[in-house]
Amino acid sequence: MSIAQTAGKQSILPRAPFRARFLAHPLVRVVLGAVASVLPVMLIMMLTQMLLPKPARMVWPMLLAAGLSVLAYRLFVTRIEKRQPVELARQGALHEVGAGMALGASLGLGVAIILAVAGAFVITGSSDSWDFLLKCLPEQIMVAVFEEILFRAVVFRIVERRWGTRTALAATALLFVAAHLPNDNLSAMAMLMTAVASLALSAAYLWTRRIWLPIGMHFGWNFLFDGVFAVPLSGHAARGWLQVSLPGPTWLTGGAYGVEASLLTLLLWGAVTVVMLRQRPRNVLAH
């Protein structure tokens, strides 16, 4: 047998089993990762609502759902992707969550202050009860955790690895908007702002390749407008500590959908998104 024939035989590698090839497909992994991150939240919410009276399902089910979502995603990464979930690394996590919360809350305060100067954000009173925080705080923790795992750690990460950053940014933004379509009082401005918010949160992920910064940013914004200021949040009813009136045109205040449908919010988030995408570290590798 010639050397060329021997080399040709040695270059033929055995084909991977069908199961391995199936699980390696990026779209399959997106679906499996999405199920892993969302299913624990759905099950905990459904079971506690069916089996427990309302006073017994305060606070802990939402925190449990958030924790199980993280554990289920970790299991997906270790069993299906066969690697360690470095995007969940705990070292520096509190610092990144805190930085994200500061950024998200700062954006929210910036919107509120500018609207207040324009006479379109008026504090009319405050709530005498703090009971709403027992639902608002853990709920927003749960929302920030499982949505960022789903959209950043699953969809964005896997799509980027296969098709590149631009495709991942676009795909994640479209899916993020689609997830908000059932919300009440949704408008074209609200959908555009939701897409921009997704780009900003994905940019936050790109800075560290970990989920903690976008989780903090997501939570900081949501809690400010759901726990502190009583204004509608993504079309959901207002329930915060400080009662707020939003006099003015809908394009400025966001109307019944909340400030997330405001042109001002779109401009501020858009500016931050451009800066974060342009200034993101280029030496942080995808995984």
Torsion of CA 46, 47, 50, 54, to 10 degrees: -90
Q: What's the pLDDT score for residue 12?
A: 57
Q: What's the pLDDT score for residue 94?
A: 96
What mean pLDDT is reported for the chain? 91
**Is residue 218 within 8 Å of residue 147, measured between CB atoms?**
yes
Q: How far is CA 274 from CA 41, 96, 212, 266, 271, in A?
A: 33, 20, 20, 12, 5
Q: What's the pLDDT score for residue 110?
A: 97
Q: What's the pLDDT score for residue 122?
A: 96
Encoded tokens for 119: 């006479």
Q: Mean pLDDT over residues 216-240, rounded? A: 93
**Is residue 243 within 8 Å of residue 230, measured between CB atoms?**
yes
Q: What's the pLDDT score for residue 57?
A: 82
Q: What's the pLDDT score for residue 21?
A: 82
Encoded tokens for 128: 């005498």
For tokens 């949501």, name the residue.
222
Q: What's the pLDDT score for residue 202?
A: 98
Q: What's the pLDDT score for residue 283?
A: 63
Encoded tokens for 60: 């802990």
Cross-strand pairs, 125? 243
**Is residue 179 within 8 Å of residue 171, measured between CB atoms?**
no
If pLDDT is split at 50, 70 and 90, which confidence band does 108 have?
very high
pLDDT in tens, 59-75: 899 999 999 999 999 99
C-alpha angle 107/41/260, rounded to 5°? 25
Q: What's the pLDDT score for residue 250?
A: 95
Q: What's the pLDDT score for residue 227?
A: 92
If pLDDT is split at 50, 70 and 90, which confidence band does 287 have?
low
Q: Mean pLDDT over residues 152-174, rounded? A: 97
Q: Which of 260, 205, 195 has the alpha carbon at shortest distance from 233?
A: 260
**Is residue 69 within 8 Å of residue 40, measured between CB atoms?**
yes
If pLDDT is split at 50, 70 and 90, which confidence band does 161 have?
very high
**Is residue 87 within 8 Å of residue 154, measured between CB atoms?**
no
Count of CA atoms in the C-beta half-sphere (13 A) of 262: 28
pLDDT in tens, 191-211: 999 999 999 999 999 999 999
Encoded tokens for 42: 């759905």
pLDDT in tens, 235-267: 998 888 999 999 999 999 999 999 999 999 999
Find the length of the chain: 287
Helix (H) or strand (E) holding 9: helix 3-11
d(CA 94, CA 100) in angstroms, rounded, equals 10
d(CA 147, CA 69) in angstroms, rounded, equals 10
> Helix H segments across 118-187?
133-148, 157-163, 165-180
pLDDT in tens, 6-63: 445 445 556 778 777 888 888 999 999 999 999 999 999 999 989 888 888 888 999 9
